C-alpha cells in the first residue's frame, strides 16, 4: 500500500532529514515510527502528505508515485490520508459536530451523509453526547478524540498520527491508543510517530526506528528499543 524506495530529503540549508529510506507498509498494518527529535519522523509524514517532495527516491501510495501528482491532484491523495496532530488543530469557534462535519463539507458530501455519518463517528470515539460542545469545554483527551473523529470521518484507508498522545496524560493517552487500535481493527492502516516508550512497548506492533535520517531497526511486534 505504501512503498518508499531510496527516499532522501535534503533541505536547502544542507540538512539531510532522511537518507535512503526503504520501507514497505501493507494494508491494515499498524506501524510505529520512533526515534529522537530530529530523526526525520516529521519529515517522513510531510513527504507522505505531499506537503514536501523527496529530493530523490520514490514514494508509492496505492500504486501511485506521489511525486508525479499534479498540484490539483494532491487533495485527492490527502483524502486517502486521515491525519491527527499533537496539537489537535480544532476550530475553536465551531462545535464538535461542526468540526467533524467540516471535513465532510470539504469533500462535498451531501447534507444527508453528513447528518448520518458524523454522529456515528462521534459515538465511535465516545463523544456521542458532546456533539454540541465547543473545543474549549473539552479536556485534552476529548479534543484529541474529536480530531480523531475528523480524521476518520471520510473513511480514509490510511491514518497518520503525529505524536497523538504528546500533549496528554498517560491515562488519556491509553484511551487514544485503544481507539487507534480499534480503528486499525476496522481495516485502516495506521502510521504513528511517537516518543512514548511505554505505549510502543505495550502495543507490540511493528516498530520502525529512525536515527539521523536512517532506518536503524524495523521489527515486527517490537519494542521501543532506544535509550532516551
Partner 1 sequence: MKIRTFGLQFKEGLIGLWRNRVMSLASIGSVTAVLLVLGLSLVLIVNVNSIAEYVESSVEIKVFLIDELDSSQVETIGAKIKQLEGIKEITFESKEQALEKYKKQLGNNNNLLEGLEGENNPLPSSYIVKVEDPNTIGDTAGKISAFEGVEEVTYGKDVVDRLLKSTYMIRIVGSILIGILALISIFIISNTIKLTVAARRKEINIMKFVGATDGFIRLPFVIEGLVLGLIGAVLSSGMLVALYNYFYSIMGRNFGSFFILVSSSLAPFNQTMYNTSLVLLAVGVFIGIIGSAVSLRKFLNV
Q: Which helix (H) or strand (E) holds 103?
A: helix 96-106
Q: Is 134 in the site for partner 1 (CB under 8 A)?
A: no
Among 107, 170, 182, 198, binds partner 1 (CB under 8 A): 107
Supply the minimum distance, in Å, between the C-beta of residue 79 and partner 1: 4
Among 24, 26, 53, 91, binds partner 1 (CB under 8 A): 91
Supply the minimum distance, in Å, between the C-beta of residue 6 and partner 1: 26
Q: Is 75 in the site for partner 1 (CB under 8 A)?
A: yes
Q: Is the dihedral of CA 91, 96, 98, 104 positive or negative?
A: positive
| DSSP 8-state assignment for residue 143 | H
Residues with Cβ within 8 Å of 15's Cβ and at least 6 positions away in sequence, in order, are none
Q: Is 49 in the site for partner 1 (CB under 8 A)?
A: yes
Cell of 153: 470521518
Give the number of other CB atoms < 10 A from CB of residue 185: 11
Total residues at interface with partner 1 (CB under 8 A): 22
Nearer to partner 1 (CB atom), residue 155 or residue 201: 155
Residue pair 218/206 in contact (Cβ under 8 Å)? The answer is yes
Q: Is 108 in the site for partner 1 (CB under 8 A)?
A: yes
Q: Is 111 in the site for partner 1 (CB under 8 A)?
A: yes
Q: In 12-148, at which residue ranges do the beta strands (DSSP E only) sit?
A: 16-25, 30-34, 56-61, 64-65, 81-85
3-state helix, strand, coil in the chain (%, to 5): 35, 25, 35
Among 1, 28, 58, 79, binds partner 1 (CB under 8 A): 79
Q: Is 112 in the site for partner 1 (CB under 8 A)?
A: no
Nearer to partner 1 (CB atom), residue 86 or residue 209: 86
Q: Applying CB under 8 A, which residues contact partner 1?
A: 49, 71-72, 75-79, 81, 83, 89, 91, 102-103, 105-108, 110-111, 150, 154
Amino acid at each position: 500500500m505504501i512503498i518508499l524506495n531510496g527516499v532522501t530529503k535534503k533541505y536547502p540549508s544542507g540538512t539531510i532529514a532522511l537518507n535512503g529510506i526503504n520501507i514497505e507498509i501493507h494494508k491494515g498494518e499498524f506501524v510505529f515510527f520512533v526515534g529522537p527529535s530530529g530523526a526525520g519522523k516529521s519529515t517522513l509524514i510531510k513527504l507522505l502528505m505531499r506537503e514536501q517532495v523527496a529530493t530523490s527516491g520514490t514514494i508509492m501510495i496505492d500504486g501511485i508515485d506521489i511525486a508525479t501528482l499534479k498540484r490539483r491532484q494532491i487533495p485527492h491523495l490527502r483524502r486517502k490520508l486521515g491525519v491527527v496532530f499533537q496539537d489537535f488543530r480544532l476550530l475553536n469557534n465551531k462545535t464538535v459536530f461542526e468540526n467533524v462535519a467540516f471535513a465532510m463539507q470539504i469533500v462535498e458530501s451531501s447534507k444527508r451523509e453528513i447528518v448520518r455519518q458524523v454522529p456515528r463517528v462521534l459515538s465511535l470515539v465516545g463523544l456521542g453526547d458532546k456533539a454540541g460542545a465547543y473545543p474549549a469545554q473539552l479536556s485534552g483527551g476529548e479534543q484529541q478524540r474529536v480530531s480523531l473523529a475528523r480524521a476518520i470521518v471520510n473513511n480514509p484507508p490510511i491514518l497518520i498520527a503525529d505524536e497523538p498522545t504528546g500533549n496528554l496524560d498517560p491515562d488519556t493517552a491509553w484511551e487514544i491508543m485503544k481507539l487507534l487500535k480499534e480503528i486499525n481493527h476496522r481495516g485502516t492502516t495506521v502510521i504513528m510517530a511517537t516518543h512514548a516508550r511505554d505505549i510502543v512497548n505495550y502495543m507490540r506492533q511493528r516498530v520502525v526506528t529512525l536515527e539521523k535520517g536512517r532506518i536503524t531497526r524495523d521489527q515486527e511486534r517490537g519494542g521501543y528499543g532506544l535509550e532516551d
